[in-house]
Structure 1
């Protein structure tokens, strides 16, 4: 299904390039420094990328230059322009980018040079509020001030999809856009009513917030969850387990997308194979999402063609 969101923030996001230009991209021309684009420092992409950097540098001849970015939508554009060699993105955004569909700045001609490497773990949709906010369902976000994520991020895409499915249009709420850490500060200070964070649990920004403030996670369940999954097949059922964050004493039902590693077809096959082998031969060295990341599941939910270097490793 193709979504057609006409949001001014999406138009703005198309021009976002972050600090990608600083990276020394391999792009098939040799060299040992590879540009790896992650996400905001308050999510899971950035610290996990730090793990990948350590593993790659201990087990290959390559070094990874990890960049903090606006995450998925920004990252696919950087890959398409060959301003990054590798990036972490959501599987739905990968599909949108390659097929030229889904959201406004990705519609049209597909980014046909982007290739998959591996899928990693579920990226859980968290909807956070203060515990005394009175917000108990997504439908309660009408008339609220909501941070839907950084402009152009996969978080923003998912938030707007979910809100629209719940019957909440752009005229019904006040949209704010910022990264996870800023969103946590906004919740803490009472500047917003709720925030979407799309990250593997536990997300650092939410952990930190929950140590200083009483928070609540809004469930996405029942008919709404069924409708979300019917309209967007890349969503899966998910649960934030009780105890994941301070004050969250019961399981919270929600949905998730899948995190994945992507690259582009200008990166040499042997480079992609070496980095892939290093990561998936040493998953025991990871500190994050260790229950999910493995070679056995690394093609589950892969929405785009594999890079030949990844294909050589996974067979």
Structure 2
């Protein structure tokens, strides 16, 4: 991937978020959420075993895929190492980059496109000219599918039909919001062409159920819990992107790939839905001990048979596919033991990162 692809215009995203800066975003998660979503089954009495460490792991909103998957990682790591994980609910990718930049978290789940922007100081005004130099990769995980959920009465049959609509583009500062604005921009819509709402997955589902919005973007590996729950109580539609619209998205940024939500994934969705996706990944920072990163990486990828969430996608064999930034030495050591080399697929200026991501994501 070359630095030139990051010149895609993202200025609309920063109209709302630009004043805070990536480090400011990290400040939003300095304390546990008041709603009690920060522990994911943990408790203050947990103590690491001999030689273990307390590890802070930033996930995403509770209605998405990052949070429950992180809970499974917590169980695996704690069952196979002396370390204890504290999983925190956050606004996801961009906010999580901030927590890693500030070294307020040890690990976080983010999208591969956001990782590239941050590490290279480009693509988003948030990062423009200010690369997050301590950001490092651990592994890629699974395709994060773009769900564009519409209210049946909204008469939205294409991206262009969102002109004049009320659209929830995801949490302010999240990877979902970034992707939503990228996709709408590819269809010729500026931020002035629709009314933007910003909440997490679960709140967006409530808004759709209450007819308060016309459409919502949800980015996550299918099935997304909030979408599953919504579909059981409310009639929904998921926008099937025409080939022309998908191609426009693919042409706008190379980290997008074609994807399909299979029929039957959600109640009432009886046909395959053509859409696009990015890639979920685990990231860390250079201040985390090499031995800790190797322990965590080994625990996860040696025990993928213990996973329920996205289990068909998460594997040591594919964990370097779509890696868009340099690997942490601890992760590099683990994958070297497995016979792979992160230097062949990773790196801030890797030309093949998005192509590999596209190949994997196309499988859904």
What is the TM-score normalised by the length of structure 1? 0.95
Q: Out of 84, 91, 100, which is 2:121 matched to?
A: 100
Runs of 4+ in structure 1 displaced over 6 angstroms?
none
Residue 132 of structure 1 aligns to a residue whose secondary structure is: helix
Q: Out of 299, 302, 307, which is 2:320 matched to?
A: 299
What displacement does 1:65 show?
A: 0.2
1:225: which partner in 2? 246
CA contact (8 A) 1:188 1:209 kept: yes
1:16-38 CA distances to partner (integer Å, 9 max, x unpaired)? 333345599xxxxx961100000
Tell me whether 1:19 sits opposite 2:29 in the alignment: yes
Tell me whether 1:279 sits opposite 2:300 in the alignment: yes
What displacement does 1:61 show?
A: 0.7
Please give the alpha-carbon distance, in whole angstroms, between the structure 2 residues aligned to 1:34 and 1:238.
34
- CA shift in 2, pair 1:202/1:12, >3 Å: farther
Q: Out of 3, 8, 11, which is 2:15 matched to?
A: 8
Residue 230 of structure 1 aligns to a residue whose secondary structure is: helix
1:168: which partner in 2? 189
CA contact (8 A) 1:38 1:88 kept: yes
Please give the alpha-carbon distance, in whole angstroms, between the structure 2 residues aligned to 1:49 and 1:118.
14
Please give the alpha-carbon distance, in whole angstroms, between the structure 2 residues aligned to 1:94 and 1:187.
30
1:209-237 CA distances to partner (integer Å, 9 max, x unpaired)? 00001100002231111121112000010
Please give the alpha-carbon distance, in whole angstroms, between the structure 1 residues aligned to 2:150 and 2:165.
11
Pick 1 or 2: higher relative contact order, CA cutoff 8 A, min separation 6: 1
Tell me whether 1:253 sits opposite 2:274 in the alignment: yes
Q: Out of 58, 72, 75, which is 2:96 matched to?
A: 75
Equivalent pairs counted in the alignment come to 310
Please give the alpha-carbon distance, in whole angstroms, between the structure 2 residues aligned to 1:277 and 1:288.
18
**Where in structure 2 are the equivalents of 1:41-120 lying within 5 Å?**
41-120=62-141
Please give the alpha-carbon distance, in whole angstroms, between the structure 2 residues aligned to 1:254 and 1:175.
21
CA contact (8 A) 1:13 1:74 kept: no
Please give the alpha-carbon distance, in whole angstroms, between the structure 2 residues aligned to 1:153 and 1:219.
23
1:54-81 CA distances to partner (integer Å, 9 max, x unpaired)? 0000000101000000000000111011
Point out the more displaced range, 13-22 or 208-217.
Answer: 13-22
Please give the alpha-carbon distance, in whole angstroms, between the structure 2 residues aligned to 1:198 and 1:129.
14
CA contact (8 A) 2:52 2:84 kept: no
2:157: which partner in 1? 136
Point out the more displaced range, 226-235 or 44-53.
Answer: 226-235
Please give the alpha-carbon distance, in whole angstroms, between the structure 1 residues aligned to 2:159 and 2:267.
22
What displacement does 1:13 show?
A: 5.5
Please give the alpha-carbon distance, in whole angstroms, between the structure 2 residues aligned to 1:39 and 1:19.
11
Please give the alpha-carbon distance, in whole angstroms, between the structure 2 residues aligned to 1:221 and 1:93.
25
- CA shift in 2, pair 1:162/1:13, >3 Å: farther
RMSD: 1.5
Residue 104 of structure 1 aligns to a residue whose secondary structure is: coil
1:27: which partner in 2? none
CA contact (8 A) 2:77 2:85 kept: yes
CA contact (8 A) 1:40 1:70 kept: yes
Tell me whether 1:35 sits opposite 2:56 in the alignment: yes
**Where in structure 2 are the equivalents of 1:168-187 lying within 5 Å?**
168-187=189-208
What displacement does 1:305 show?
A: 0.4
Please give the alpha-carbon distance, in whole angstroms, between the structure 2 residues aligned to 1:140 and 1:299.
38
Please give the alpha-carbon distance, in whole angstroms, between the structure 2 residues aligned to 1:225 and 1:20.
38
What displacement does 1:42 show?
A: 0.3
1:215: which partner in 2? 236
